Amino acid sequence: MPLDPKPDWAPARRRQIGECIRATRTLVGLSQIQLGERVGRDNKTISRWENAHSVPDLDDLLLIADALDIPLADLVQ
């Protein structure tokens, strides 16, 4: 059952994960469209994750880590 209200630290962690996705994606030279194609999502979804408007679920995080060739732990650290 989800926590309601969410802990104070949750939005900050969501932003950190989004920033890590964006930074790593740009470092490896992928556009949002290209990353989306690799993980089966559209570029708008990638944008929402990077801007912390939504969060990828665990399956998506695994696909993102694989597409960016980084360990999952580095992505969510």
Query: Does domain 10-76 sit in CATH 3.40.47.10?
Result: no
Q: What is this structure's pTM?
A: 0.88
CA dihedral angle for residue 15, residue 3, residue 42, residue 66, rounded to 10 degrees: 70
Kindly report, residue by residue over 1-41, the tens digit of the pLDDT.
Answer: 565 677 888 889 999 999 999 999 999 999 999 999 999 99
Burial (CB count <10 Å: 0-12, 13-18, 19+), residue 21 = buried
pLDDT number for residue 2? 61
DSSP 29: T
pLDDT number for residue 5? 77
Whole-number Å distance between alpha carbons of 17 and 51: 9
Check: CB of residue 41 under 8 Å from CB of residue 25: no
pLDDT number for residue 1? 54
